[in-house]
Amino acid sequence: MTGSLPRRVLQTVVCALAAWTLAAGPAVAAPQGFSIQVSGVSAPVGMAADTDGNCYWVTDGSSRTTRTLVAVDAQGRRSKEVSWQAMPTNVQALAWSDSSLFVGDIGDPTASRKSIQVLSPQALDGSATSWRAWDLVYPDGPHDADAMAVSGRGNIYIVTRGDSPAIYRAPTELSRDSDNTLVRVASAPADVTDAVFLSDGKRIALRTRDQVTLVDAYTWKTLATAPVSPSGGDAISSTLSGDGLQLAGSSTTVTGMSLPGGSTSATPTPSASAADPAHSDDDDTAGIRWGTLITLVASVLLAVAAAVVVYRAK
């Protein structure tokens, strides 16, 4: 009888830990990467997952990939291309939203452009005889930018570099006849090279040369961070399935990456002028995990206590 209590307690703890393991779910392997197999395309500065066409649009910023937009399949082979007569100045980013491709002509390393531009071709195969274009201006003077993200609702966000890097949002209603003034909504990590909205529409992944940061697009709180290889590369995209990320390297290699799962860096500071309301029905990822862990630990302790009580009653 004296040895039965430890055995029962051990069994209880093992069962509880097994339940925790099942609740946490199995480890998810990183998404498959690929190598871009299109002649003349070098390291991408922009990449976007076309979930309608099951392909990735890529650009290295050169005229050969901005005058003729190129898409590759999940194996890196040429899938689509569209030629147009647009003549952007400095393309640094691509984004996909609501069946549309957005081309970010946002680079300005000398901070001398009066306005930047975002374009969207009307056709995505063959020739685009027309496209939409919006001129954007910063409220505080020119900035260089490498990163653009477009929400599921079509809201455009630009992430600047240099002094006081920040996230700016374009007006919800955009004019094609006059300049559209951006609104500064939050500070940003230094040297963000690309950005993408995740499939839930609530989080943005920001990439630097050595880190990916997940940010809540309503509160601008940092939800999670993860290191990336310091070997170079600029572009980031969601996977076609939306359950992971694709990161372009310093060559034509694209590496799959699981979504970051733990927060270790400082949170961007929301601007006083930010107008996005915080959502009330979605706790951040870290909060959910801690709440689940606390609940399970409490369950283990209650189970052990119950086992002791039963033993003593006998």
Domain spans of the chain, in order of start: 1-29+283-314, 31-279
pLDDT of residue 124 exceeding 80 = yes
pLDDT at residue 127, rounded to an integer = 85
Residue 232: which pLDDT band, with cuts at 50, 70 and 90?
A: confident
CATH fold, domain 31-279, is Neuraminidase (2.120.10)
Confidence of residue 63 (pLDDT cuts 50, 70, 90): very high
Decide which of 129 and 230 is more confident: 129
Rounded to whole angstroms, the Cα distance separating 108 from 138 reads 12
How many angstroms separate the CA atoms of 141 and 119, rounded? 21
pTM of the model: 0.77
Handedness of CA 44, 45, 48, 49 (dihedral sign): positive
The tens digit of pLDDT for each residue in 24-52 reads 444 568 899 999 999 999 999 999 999 99
Measure Cα distances from 302 to 17, 18, 286, 309 in Å. 13, 16, 24, 10
Report pLDDT for 262: 55
Greater model confidence, 147 or 283: 147
Identify the pLDDT of residue 270: 59
Instruction: Tell me how far apart the alpha carbons of residues 126 and 139 are, in angstroms, rounded to a whole number.
Output: 38
Residue with tokens 């609104």: 183
For residue 300, pLDDT beyond 90: no
pLDDT-derived band at 208 (thresholds 50, 70, 90) equals very high
Does the pLDDT of residue 294 top 80, yes or no? no
Per-range mean pLDDT, top range of 25-39, 47-61, 119-133: 47-61
110 pLDDT higher than 80: yes
Binning pLDDT at 50, 70 and 90, where does residue 125 land?
Answer: confident
- Exposed, middle or buried by CB within 10 Å (0-12, 13-18, 19+), for 161? buried
Residue 279 has pLDDT above 60, yes or no: no
Higher-pLDDT residue of 286, 242: 242
Report residue 2's pLDDT band, with 50, 70 and 90 as the boundaries: very low
pLDDT value for 19: 45
Asked if 118 and 148 touch (Cβ cutoff 8 Å), the reply is: yes
Q: What is the mean pLDDT of residues 68-79?
A: 97
CB 211 within 8 A of CB 222: no
Asked if pLDDT for residue 277 goes beyond 70, the answer is no
CA–CA dist 151, 288 (Å, integer): 24
